[in-house]
Amino acid sequence: MADKGYGYEECEATADWLLARTGVRPAVGIVCGSGLGGLADMLKDQVAFNYEDIPNFPQSTVHGHAGRLVFGTLKGRSCVCMQGRFHLYEGYPVQKITLPIRIFKLLGVDTVMLTNAAGGLNRDFKVGDIMVIKDHLNLPGFAGVNPLSGPNDERFGARFPCMSDAYDGALRQMAMHVGRELGYGDFLKEGVYCVLGGPSFETIAESRMLHKLGADAVGMSTAHEVIVARHCGMRVLALSLITNQAVMDYDSEAKANHEEVLETGTRRAAQLERLVSTMVTKMELNNNNNNYAGDADRGTLACQRKPQ
Ligand SMILES: O=P(O)(O)O[C@H]1O[C@H](CO)[C@@H](O)[C@H]1O
């Protein structure tokens, strides 16, 4: 594994390289979805690195993914933010696109907040809705494309990690609560995200099938990152911005396109940023009073056995 460029030693070398260049010790790691890179601009006292300068890091190739790793503070809490993520369709192995999540872990992150742009499959969803992800369907995983494939390194986590608790219940509850408090009740939803390999958008038959399988939204990211984050014991919150309706009628004239995805991102960016930043504030407060203590640790202990 190590010779492929995404083993423990590579992650450690990258984490050490970053830690030597910033005093920020992040507790929260944020991943920005397509068109949602403005989240990184919320960080104060920034120390930023271009992906091309970071050893072992993949390069962003997708419009709407700037390719910068930004350290800083959000309402006083130390964070690191990926302004741009990697996708299977960019040609990287799934282990490489999720490498930054393992680097988050080695930087000291314990909570990962992921965002993405997704197509709505649930007919009750509208463009502009924010969906708190409660579960996922990993379709590439059905074909053996799983970031944990290959030798397992116990320093990250167990061979067979549990995924029934992938999306932290307390954080989801907090997102719904904070969202309603911010007045987002009308466009805040909960649902199941389905990841596909992309880059082609879905056919009508595929969208209908995914909906029948129980997916509320479809995209080309996130689930792999979640699997890796949970494998190494971080707790996870993930939010989808419904940027377009998946086309499900043969009469429809609509055509999915990346420009619409980015436009919707721009329109809802401020609200999404506010939701994320308010949550970070509350998490900090609740570290003291435990109201929103995540269930990740319990889940991890239940699911992972330490090497004997
Ligand atoms: O999941 P993010 O990175 O937000 O991007 C989504 O937007 C792109 C399609 O427009 C795809 O890459 C899809 O996964």
* Alpha-carbon distances, residue 41 vs 23, 46, 48, 296 (angstroms): 18, 9, 11, 28
The answer for residues whose C-beta is within 8 angstroms of residue 126's C-beta and 6 or more apart is: 120, 187, 242, 245
Tell me how far the alpha carbon of residue 295 lies from the centroid of ligand 1, in angstroms: 28
Whether 258 sits among the annotated catalytic residues: the reply is yes
Whether 63 sits among the annotated catalytic residues: the reply is no
Average pLDDT of the segment spanning 152-169: 98
Q: Is the pLDDT of residue 302 over 50?
A: no
Q: State the first-to-last Cα distance of the chain, in angstroms, to the nearest integer.
A: 22
Which residue among 63, 261, 264, 266 is best mutated to probe the pocket of ligand 1, counting the most ligand atoms within 8 A of its Cβ? 261
Q: Whose CA is nearest to atom 14 of ligand 1?
A: 220
Q: Which atom of ligand 1 is nearest to the CA of 118?
A: 6
Torsion of CA 196, 201, 205, 208, to 10 degrees: 70
Q: Is residue 220 part of a domain?
A: yes
How far apart (Å, rounded) are the C-alpha atoms in residues 197 and 43?
A: 31
pLDDT tier at 293, thresholds 50, 70, 90: very low
Q: Is the pLDDT of residue 2 over 50?
A: no
Is there a contact between 217 and 189 (Cβ–Cβ < 8 Å)? no
Q: Is residue 27 part of a domain?
A: yes
258: Cβ below 6 Å to ligand 1?
Answer: yes
* Alpha-carbon distances, residue 151 vs 131, 141, 181, 282 (angstroms): 34, 16, 45, 38
280-292 pLDDT, tens digit per residue, is 988 854 443 333 3
Catalytic residue among 244, 248, 269, 273: 244
202-220 exposure pattern, b = at least 16 Cβ within 10 A, e = fewer: beeebbbebbeeebbbbbb
Q: Which atom of ligand 1 is nearest to the CA of 34?
A: 4
Whether 252 sits among the annotated catalytic residues: the reply is no
Query: How much is the pLDDT for 61?
Result: 92
64: Cβ below 6 Å to ligand 1?
Answer: no
Q: Which atom of ligand 1 is nearest to the CA of 87?
A: 12
Q: Is residue 34 part of a domain?
A: yes
Q: Is residue 295 part of a domain?
A: no
Tell me how far the alpha carbon of residue 20 lies from the centroid of ligand 1, in angstroms: 32
Note the Cα 263 to chain centre separation in Å. 20
**What's the domain range around 266?**
2-289
Tell me, what CATH number does 159's domain have? 3.40.50.1580
Which residue among 81, 87, 259 is best mutated to probe the pocket of ligand 1, counting the most ligand atoms within 8 A of its Cβ? 87
207-234 pLDDT, tens digit per residue, is 999 999 999 999 999 999 999 999 999 9
235-257 pLDDT, tens digit per residue, is 999 999 999 999 999 999 999 99
Q: Is residue 55 part of a domain?
A: yes
Is there a contact between 188 and 132 (Cβ–Cβ < 8 Å)? yes
Flag whether the ipTM exceeds 0.95.
yes
Backbone CA torsion sign across 50, 198, 191, 249: positive
Q: Is residue 298 part of a domain?
A: no
Q: Is residue 71 part of a domain?
A: yes
Q: Is residue 22 part of a domain?
A: yes
Q: Is the pLDDT of residue 305 over 50?
A: no
Whether 8 sits among the annotated catalytic residues: the reply is no
How far apart (Å, rounded) are the C-alpha atoms in residues 301 and 32?
A: 29
DSSP structure class, residue 211: H
Q: Is the pLDDT of residue 5 over 90?
A: no
Is there a contact between 217 and 121 (Cβ–Cβ < 8 Å)? yes
104-136 exposure pattern, b = at least 16 Cβ within 10 A, e = fewer: bbbbebbbbbbbbbbbbbbeebebebbbbbbbb
Whether 89 sits among the annotated catalytic residues: the reply is yes
Q: Is the pLDDT of residue 172 over 80?
A: yes
Please name the residue ranges forming H helices in the chain. Answer: 8-19, 38-41, 94-97, 99-107, 139-142, 169-181, 204-213, 223-231, 258-289, 296-303
187-212 pLDDT, tens digit per residue, is 999 999 999 999 999 999 999 999 99
Whether 200 sits among the annotated catalytic residues: the reply is no
Backbone CA torsion sign across 286, 288, 291, 297: positive
Strands (E), 51-187: 68-74, 77-83, 111-120, 130-138
224: Cβ below 6 Å to ligand 1?
Answer: no
Domain count of the fold of the chain: 1
Catalytic residue among 27, 65, 279, 292: 65
User: Quick one: tokens of 6?
Assistant: 């995404």
Whether 20 sits among the annotated catalytic residues: the reply is no
